């Protein structure tokens, strides 16, 4: 065969520069990789998923106010099983003596003692991340370890980021082993595997090292990107590797690499568009986690392409001799049986599939989504999660909601707490307005000087003097004129004033009174840090309801109504896991519709320009959308809640990445139809496509399954479960459903093709030796000696575009109309010497 210089000089020049300057690129990559390895330590990771809530949501605004104005001390639930009540009282006393423990709540109610199990609610004198709280919790463990059956659940000392990173390291190692096995099976030479791994390793490190440019990234993006980057982008390296292998059959190493790269760049760039389009849809989510994940993953795809285009060619040249020496036979079997099955069932499977996807669409729409992950159970459980489940199963779960209101109106706070306490849905409440100071008085109760004197064991005259000083300090001179006997001041405010006066040296007390007040002041300091700031007051409400039910949501709305009677709607906040779930659920429907529409729209646009047909993209989208519906109908059928992020993220990834499997088969099919009948073309297309689908699909499915079973993080596990299941479903559909649809929809594909629009053509059928120079569409059976133009020896049945040069030098015969319109079933096999291979359904060749 005569070798002609490929067209596209600009691409060839670029490829030549990359190959010839490979040592320069090696040096640049060494510097870039060293920098990236250092820069990975600069990446800031956000573990709190509520940070990505829109700024307009009540939860985000309330959390901001709460974090800026209040201190939240660490707590722990400690359950000790198989003990008597007296033993539990003894343990309570021992725990209270531990340094760093402020209170240990325990009593004989069912909330703290049931079925020979005791639940101690421990509060520390430091925040969750403070070393003092961690030391106190460790002392509790040491105190109870070995002697009792203990379960401890606490945020203190829990580093979710570190735990997740250690889990992902194990996942990456196992995934690497699977990848090596898969690549070995699908490679043509054993030496190709290290080239592929080095290319991907460089891309992964570059992406991780540049994440600091994003500012702060979520723990989701930080943990799953490496796995998803490999699964989504490994095809790019395989395409170039196989191109090089093909070109190296007839060309020297350098020339083969240049030719392979010049052809692979547009092919890989086109292939990446569907994946990038699907990921881009995530950026339009109202929930900021979508934009975060889209940014990091799209950057990963781009770095993968960059490494394939600029690093891998040099590696192929460097390893070329070893690649030649280690060639092996094809280890992936043909799937001709699958193709034959698809042909035989082409009138059976599509109707069944139609019924299934309609049912799946209904079931997916009924999928039970959840928006908090406290109660989600992962396949792998940490010690902390096991403790939570044990405590929950014994004592039930606690649903805490914080109410934040403008400070200063103690009377309104007290009424709100009274109204909430009267509700059956409320277990208990806590705020300054219902904390007892002493002798039955609450902290916010207003008392006279005599009442304060009796309460604090002060001299009455001292109390009056204190009230007078308070009135002067607050510019309430009228109270002094009218007499201070009936002057009332809230206990909390008066004690805070007294503390300040004692601190300034204006008032001096001694003896037991001073000691009593010092203890009281310490308690007030702790209460103030947790419950009151200069601008806001915080009340804590414990509900008898789960975090996510319609009843819970309805009661939170009722809470808004109760609080709204005393404060303006935009001046207070109700914050908790329940309100977070309400905010997320309100935007989920819109985000869901937005991602589904945008990802499908972006992919359709790419497919339109790829296949130049309006019908084929629709057929492909139907198959992949069907796989998405089937994937998310499973939680409904299993009656298990699905974390909403698992749906949103995997929906876009499945549409953007899994559509490539359908594209590969369709591309091979449309090419093979030029020389084969549709039924033969689909069998050959499946055989040619299967190695690519097997490689990418098995890696992506394995990554998802590994993530789902090896991580204890519920969010990451949900994403992995949906990703693995969705990929498997997609593979099955493109192998066992798409072929039948392509065969039956062949007429639709042809009639909706716009590639030849505006080109007047004519049908020509001939046999013999022909010169062709131009565009044709149809079937050729024989030996082709050309790329775009050349000589044909054989049989010809096609549409010829206007302007195409077509001459028959040595005609064997001109075919009759009978041959032209011969039915598919009666058509001869390709290669039959005397009769051309024609098909009235038409083909598509250029």
Q: How far is CA 543 from CA 396, 424, 576, in A?
A: 12, 9, 11
Tell me the pTM.
0.76
| DSSP labels, 791-820 | EEEEEEEEEEETT-EEEEEEEEEPPPHHHH
Q: What is the DSSP letter of 829?
A: P
pLDDT for position 659: 79
pLDDT for position 199: 92
Q: Are 732 and 657 in contact (CB under 8 A)?
A: no
Low-confidence ranges of the chain (pLDDT < 50): 1-8, 756-763, 788, 802, 812-846
Q: How far is CA 485 from CA 366, 461, 463, 499, 819, in A?
A: 67, 11, 10, 22, 118
Q: Is 20 exposed, middle or buried (0-12, 13-18, 19+ CB in 10 A)?
A: middle
Compute the distance between CA of residue 650 and CA of residue 756 in angstroms, rounded to an integer. Answer: 37
Residue 124 backbone class (left: φ over 0; alpha: ψ -120 to 50; beta: rest): beta
Locate 157 and state its tokens.
């000392």
Render pLDDT for 614-635 as a digit per residue (tens, 0 to 9): 778 888 888 888 999 999 999 9
Beta bridge partners of 98: none
Helices (H), 97-214: 131-144, 160-186, 192-209
Q: How far is CA 500 from CA 169, 463, 497, 523, in A?
A: 54, 15, 5, 15
Compute the distance between CA of residue 580 and CA of residue 59 in angstroms, rounded to an integer. Answer: 6
| DSSP labels, 724-751 | HHHHHHHHHHHHHTHHHHHHHTHHHHHH
Q: Are 305 and 270 in contact (CB under 8 A)?
A: no
Residue 505 backbone class (left: φ over 0; alpha: ψ -120 to 50; beta: rest): left
Q: How far is CA 539 from CA 53, 217, 329, 399, in A?
A: 23, 32, 72, 14
Q: Quick check: helix, strand or coil at residue 233?
A: helix
Q: Quick check: helix, strand or coil at residue 645?
A: helix
Burial profile 170-208: b = 16 or more Cβ within 10 angstroms, e = fewer: ebbeebeebbeebbeebbbbebbbbbbbbbbbbbbbbbb
Find, among 560, 583, 574, the residue nearest to 53 by Cα: 583
Structural domains of the chain, ranges and CATH numbers in brackets: 1-42+159-329 (1.20.1640.10), 67-158 (3.30.70.100), 333-375+581-753 (1.20.1640.10), 399-545 (no CATH), 756-846 (no CATH)
For β-strands 369-370 and 642-643, DSSP reports them as parallel
Q: Quick check: helix, strand or coil at residue 152?
A: strand
Q: Quick check: helix, strand or coil at residue 845?
A: coil
The residue count of the chain comes to 846
Count of other CB atoms within 10 angstroms of residue 68: 10
Find, among 310, 308, 312, the residue nearest to 14 by Cα: 310
Q: Give the containing element (helix H, strand E) for 127.
A: strand 117-127
The set of residues, in sequence order, having a beta carbon less than 8 Å from that of 36 and lying 6+ positions away, is 205, 206, 208, 209, 210
pLDDT for position 789: 62
Beta bridge partners of 150: 80
Instruction: Report angle CA 178, 183, 185 to the nearest 5 degrees.
Output: 100
Find, among 624, 613, 671, 678, the residue nearest to 651 by Cα: 624
Cα 818 to chain centroid, rounded: 58
Q: How many CA atoms lie within 13 A of 567 on its CB side?
A: 25
Compute the distance between CA of residue 154 and CA of residue 139 in angstroms, rounded to an integer. Answer: 14
Count of other CB atoms within 10 angstroms of residue 298: 18
The set of residues, in sequence order, having a beta carbon less than 8 Å from that of 465 and lying 6+ positions away, is none
Q: How many CA atoms lie within 13 A of 539 on its CB side?
A: 31
pLDDT for position 585: 86
Find, among 539, 581, 476, the residue nearest to 57 by Cα: 581
Instruction: Report angle CA 729, 730, 734 to the nearest 5 degrees.
Output: 120
Residue 612 backbone class (left: φ over 0; alpha: ψ -120 to 50; beta: rest): left
User: What's the Rg (C-alpha) of the chain?
Assistant: 36
Compute the distance between CA of residue 702 and CA of residue 700 in angstroms, rounded to an integer. Answer: 5
Locate 723 and state its tokens.
């990703």
């Amino acid at each position: 065969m005569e070798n002609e210089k490929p067209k596209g000089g600009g691409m060839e020049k670029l490829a030549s520069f990359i190959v010839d300057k490979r040592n320069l690129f090696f040096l640049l990559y060494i510097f870039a990789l060293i920098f990236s390895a250092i820069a990975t330590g600069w990446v800031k990771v956000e573990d709190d998923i509520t940070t990505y809530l829109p700024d307009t949501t009540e939860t985000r605004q309330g959390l901001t106010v709460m974090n800026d104005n209040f201190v939240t001390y660490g707590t722990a639930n400690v359950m000790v099983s198989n003990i008597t009540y007296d033993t539990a009282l003894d343990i309570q006393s021992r725990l209270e003596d531990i340094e760093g423990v402020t209170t240990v709540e325990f009593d004989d109610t069912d909330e703290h003692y049931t079925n020979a199990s005791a639940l101690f609610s421990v509060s520390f004198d430091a925040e969750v991340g403070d070393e003092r709280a961690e030391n106190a919790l460790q002392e509790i463990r040491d105190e109870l370890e070995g002697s009792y059956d203990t379960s401890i659940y606490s945020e203190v000392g829990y580093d979710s980021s570190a735990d997740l990173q250690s889990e992902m390291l194990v996942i990456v190692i196992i995934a690497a082993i699977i990848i090596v096995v898969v690549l070995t099976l699908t490679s043509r030479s054993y030496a190709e595997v290290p080239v592929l791994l080095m290319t991907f390793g460089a891309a992964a490190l570059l992406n991780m090292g540049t994440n600091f440019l994003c500012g702060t990234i979520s723990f989701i993006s930080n943990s799953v990107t490496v796995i998803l980057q490999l699964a989504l982008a490994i095809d790019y390296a395989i395409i170039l590797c196989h191109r090089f292998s093909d070109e190296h059959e007839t060309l020297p190493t350098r020339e083969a690499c240049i030719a392979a790269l010049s052809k692979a760049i547009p092919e890989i760039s086109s292939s990446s568009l569907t994946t990038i389009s699907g990921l881009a849809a995530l950026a339009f989510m109202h929930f900021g986690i979508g934009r975060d994940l889209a940014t990091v993953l799209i950057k990963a795809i781009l770095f993968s392409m960059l490494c394939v285009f600029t690093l891998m060619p040099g590696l192929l040249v460097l390893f070329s001799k070893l690649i030649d020496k280690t060639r092996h036979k094809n280890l992936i079997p043909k799937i001709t049986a699958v193709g034959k099955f698809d042909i035989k069932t082409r009138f059976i499977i599509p109707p069944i599939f139609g019924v299934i996807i309609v049912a799946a669409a209904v079931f997916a729409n009924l999928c039970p989504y959840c928006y908090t992950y406290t109660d989600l159970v992962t396949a792998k459980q940490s010690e902390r999660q096991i403790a939570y489940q044990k405590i929950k199963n014994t004592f039930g779960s606690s649903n805490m909601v914080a109410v934040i209101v403008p400070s200063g109106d103690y009377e309104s706070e007290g009424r709100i707490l009274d109204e909430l306490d009267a509700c059956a849905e409320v277990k208990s409440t806590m705020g300054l307005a219902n904390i007892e100071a002493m002798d039955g008085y609450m902290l916010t109760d207003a008392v006279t000087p005599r009442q304060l004197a009796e309460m604090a064991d002060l001299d009455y005259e001292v109390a009056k003097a204190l009230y007078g000083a308070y009135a002067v300090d607050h510019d309430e001179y009228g109270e002094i004129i009218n007499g201070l006997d009936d002057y009332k001041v809230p206990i909390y405010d008066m004690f805070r004033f007294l503390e300040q006066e004692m601190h300034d040296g204006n008032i001096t007390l001694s003896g037991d009174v001073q000691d009593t007040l010092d203890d009281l002041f310490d308690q007030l300091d702790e209460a103030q840090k947790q419950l009151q700031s200069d601008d806001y007051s915080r009340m804590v409400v414990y509900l008898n309801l789960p975090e996510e039910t319609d009843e819970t949501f309805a009661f939170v709305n009722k809470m808004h109504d109760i609080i709204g009677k005393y404060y303006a709607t935009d001046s207070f906040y109700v914050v908790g896991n329940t309100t977070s779930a309400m905010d997320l659920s309100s935007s989920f429907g819109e985000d869901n519709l937005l991602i589904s529409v945008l990802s499908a729209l972006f992919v359709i646009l790419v497919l339109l320009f790829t296949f130049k047909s309006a019908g084929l993209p629709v057929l492909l989208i139907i198959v992949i959308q069907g796989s998405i519906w089937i994937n998310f109908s499973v939680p409904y059928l299993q009656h298990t809640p699905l974390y909403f992020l698992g749906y949103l993220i995997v929906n876009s990834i499945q549409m953007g990445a899994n559509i490539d499997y359908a594209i590969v088969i369709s591309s091979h099919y449309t090419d093979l139809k030029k020389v084969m009948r549709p039924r033969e073309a689909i069998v050959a297309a499946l055989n040619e496509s299967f190695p690519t689908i097997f490689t990418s699909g098995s890696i992506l499915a394995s990554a998802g399954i590994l993530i789902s079973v090896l991580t204890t993080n519920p969010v990451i596990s949900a994403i992995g479960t949906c990703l693995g299941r969705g990929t498997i479903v997609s593979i099955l559909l493109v192998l066992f459903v798409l072929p039948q649809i392509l065969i039956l929809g062949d007429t639709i594909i042809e009639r909706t093709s716009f590639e030849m629009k505006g080109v007047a053509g004519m049908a020509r059928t001939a046999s013999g030796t022909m010169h062709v120079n131009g565009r044709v569409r149809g079937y050729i059976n024989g030996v082709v000696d050309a790329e775009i133009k050349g000589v044909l020896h054989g049989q010809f049945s096609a549409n010829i575009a206007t302007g195409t040069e077509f001459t028959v030098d040595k005609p064997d015969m001109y075919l009759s109309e009978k041959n032209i319109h011969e039915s598919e079933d009666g058509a001869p096999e390709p290669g039959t010497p005397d009769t051309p291979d024609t098909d009235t359904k038409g083909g598509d060749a250029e």
